[in-house]
Amino acid sequence: MTVTSRRAVLEAVTTVGLGAALAACGAGTAAQPVNAQPTIPAATGPVKLTYWTWLKDLQSVCDVWNADHPDIQVEAVWIGAGNSGGYSKMYSALAAGGGGDIAQVEFQLLPSFLLQNGLVDLSRYGFRDHLDSFRPADISRVSVGDSVFGVPQDTGPMGLFYRRDVFEEVGVTPPATWQEWLDVARAVRQSDPARHLEGFNVNDPGNFTSYCMQAGAEWFTVDGEEWVVDLTGEPTRMVAQFLDQAFGEDLFDLSLGAFTPGWYAAAADGRISSVITGSWGDALVESVGGTEGKWAVAPMPRWPDTGFASATLGGSTAAVMSTSQHPHEALEFILWMSTTPEAIDLMIKNSGIGWSPSPDFIGTVRQQPVAFFSGQNYNEEVFVPAADGQNPDWIWSPIYLELNDALSTAVRTATSGGTSLADALPGVQDRVLDIMRHKGLRVRSAS
């Protein structure tokens, strides 16, 4: 199959599916897609922007900008986190022709907003002149050909947080490969039947998705005006078979999803001794009582002879909503927020953002060793290489939420003695194809 440029993704979303999507939501914000209309000129007078976000205390960041930019004032408007009501509010506002100027949108939800004619193509307002200010893989995940629909705000390169003292007691070292992960998990179980190397949330397929991303899977590509779906390819089957083996050997504690109340107690007393998660997990691990100085961080295990150094879990963009009348000014603020050291330091300190979107500045506090993690300078040692070692060809689909539901069902079935995860993949793919066709998208399977 010949995969066309990323511009074809937009064509597949807008040309094929946009009309149906707008009809389904009952109203459009314009008679034609916003990015087919003339660009809006920069304002000639003072402008007030609103930024819909679930980041805490982002107004403190806006206030620094506002002090130096009296003609472009920004107000942060807190909304619920995306899937906890934030996205529903955004979709309703778009349908009514309103909403904020800027919206926090997770990477994986951007294609869904394109189906709603919901986002401005920032390349039409000069964003391509600033691409060197971001990591190529992050730009890839917000780009469609020459079009860009969001500015990376924070990301989540993955690594292995582990109880160094437990590993030393058991006599193991951090696994460099996933095969070694199995060996370490077995050794931990053999050391004490109450112990597991990790927990696993059977209701959240996020880690499974990230493992497939790392292995080199490309679940969604585009050929001409068709979406091509490949949920049964070798990288995905390899990851599914790995998890089936781990489930079958009881190597995960399936009752303890990461960062749940029970998980914190188990991590504190050593019944759970590691977690593979995004860089943002450091703040959560630091909440494990009585364990300061007992943790360390290692790179994510790798798949044999394939894939990438790491994957991503979580992360958000700042996107300009199609109803905004001030995209020039909105982009100017977003670029300042996402690239200047002062703004990045403030977002880390006051808003708790994940990994910095700037390849040139990870944050002042993140350049130092951390006592809680055994005095390790883990951000520089582990997460800088992880951020640079991402799968650049991963494309999110416009049905992320529906896909998540289908994968969650498959994982729960596999962990309760039903159909294995590997054997469930064809059914998940069939379900995805049906959903996409129902939305009016042209789609076929890769095989």
Question: Is 312 a residue whose pLDDT tops 70?
Answer: yes
**Higher per-residue confidence, 301 vs 2:** 301
Q: Residue 388, exposed/middle/buried by CB under 10 A (0-12, 13-18, 19+)?
A: middle
- Integer Cα distance of 311 and 315 in angstroms: 12
Residue of 440, 11, 437 lying closest to 223 (CA atoms): 11
- Integer Cα distance of 364 and 353 in angstroms: 13
| Residue 348: φ, ψ to 5° | -70, -45
Mean pLDDT computed over every residue of the chain: 91
- Tokens 């990301």 sit at which residue? 155
Q: How confident is residue 17, by pLDDT bands cut at 50, 70 and 90?
A: very low
pLDDT score at 12? 43
Question: Is 32 a residue whose pLDDT tops 60?
Answer: yes
In tens, the pLDDT along 330-348 reads: 999 999 999 999 999 999 9
Q: Check if CATH label 3.40.190.10 holds for domain 7-155+313-369.
A: yes
CB atoms under 10 Å from CB of 15, counted, come to 13
Q: What is the pTM of this model?
A: 0.91
In tens, the pLDDT along 416-434 reads: 999 999 999 999 999 999 9
* The pair of three-digit structure tokens given for residue 26, joined into one six-digit string: 């009952």
CA 108 to chain centre: 6
Q: 3-state class of 48 per DSSP?
A: strand
Specify the DSSP class assigned to residue 428.
H
Same fold, 7-155+313-369 and 157-311+394-445: yes
Select the CATH number that applies to the domain covering 157-311+394-445 from these four: 3.40.50.800, 1.10.287.610, 3.40.190.10, 3.20.20.100: 3.40.190.10
pLDDT score at 85? 83
Residue of 134, 111, 85 lying closest to 335 (CA atoms): 134
Specify the DSSP class assigned to residue 138.
H
Interior angle at CA 67, CA 349 and CA 333, nearest 5:
70
Domain boundaries, the chain: 7-155+313-369, 157-311+394-445
| Residue 322: φ, ψ to 5° | -65, -15
Q: 3-state class of 381 per DSSP?
A: helix
Question: Is 1 a residue whose pLDDT tops 50?
Answer: no
